Structure 1
């Protein structure tokens, strides 16, 4: 049974190991992950956050030895459901290693920002929310222990904030990509992300196989 928290930003439903089969998140789902560290080859997947853009977040806590996550995996691999990420390269690698999901189709607000906001080098989620939406999100819990068996309300609120604004961000960035004639290029980048994540897991970060 899900544990439900209510915050000023909306409801947060915390599940263990998998989404319930009756949860429907629509055709476009915002997704994020929390891990034990920043190396997907080493650091295990601890939490998967999802939102349909309605102000409600579903958090799936991945427990070591907790078994498979078939409903979550099916959603992430559903070709009819677009998955929105910020820095998808890391998340798709973590999800592939953590639950065996090859996530597609994918959109990434970080890549989109780098393609069209070339007047700045600030492409973090906090920067985008502030600059494009006028929303200030806190990163205070970013480096907390996501492997803890019991997540704090503060951790849950932080994790939810990483997906609650992605739909609005993508709408703004998609418009900018269209305006600048770079949407097709962005789509080509997005299609490559599942393969890029697998290359990272194989150790092809440095050397980069695309370098000379």
Structure 2
């Protein structure tokens, strides 16, 4: 696996094909308080490109263009958070989207374990290390261990999508999943606007 670190933005002309796996690292789980630090991407070829953002400007036009490109499917695990932080800090509405966590919840109803580590273990027989999950992503220099961790969060998403797609088809839930994915940018906007917990559909 090759890991390439880019400072500030993706290089011009870099193509990920028709679908790209995406994840992000922040300084916490509150999008209004905790800034976006890193975005990692993979074409599903075992390699990863990591963008360490300039938090003084967030000037990343190539990354923003990719996130908004309607011809490239963005594959996330728990897209709701990543889409919200990229909307907040990069000013981009990400679309179209596939979320492996939502797909898992729609078809793996026999369990309540829908984390990426759980999916990789059951569906791919891969044991992901989460040791660097809570490390300092705002540091000027990202460690080799952090780079490896960040890359591992995107290099398996294409494989997981393929398996989950077969399960969605088997259970007749593909269209339901598509509708959930299409709603994610709105869900992210609601989170940012102050409705992260309240169910607006409730009585």
TM-score (norm 2): 0.98
Paired residue for 1:101?
92
> Which residue of the other structure, out of 42, 47, 50, is the alignment partner of 2:38?
47
2:146 to 140, 155, 160: 155
Conserved? CA contact 1:129–1:169, under 8 Å: yes
Structure 2 match to 1:15: 6
CA distance in 1, matches of 2:67, 2:82: 11
The structural deviation recorded for 1:67 is 4.5
Structure 1 unaligned segments of length 5 or more: list them: 1-9
- Cα shift at 1:65: 1.1
| Aligned counterparts, 1:36-185, within 5 A | 36-185=27-176
Structure 1 CA distance, aligned partners of 2:114 and 2:58? 36
Count of matched residue pairs: 203
Moved over 4 A (4+): none
1:198 to 180, 184, 189: 189
- CA-based RMSD of the aligned residues comes to 0.8
Aligned match of 2:20: 29
CA distance in 2, matches of 1:208, 1:85: 23
Q: Distance in 2 between matches of 1:176 and 1:13?
A: 33
Q: What is the CA-CA distance between 1:90 and the residue it aligns to?
A: 0.4
CA distance in 2, matches of 1:42, 1:194: 20
* Partner secondary structure for residue 163 of structure 1: coil
Shift of 1:209: 1.5
Question: Hey, what's the Cα distance between the residues in 1 that align with 2:194 and 2:65?
Answer: 27
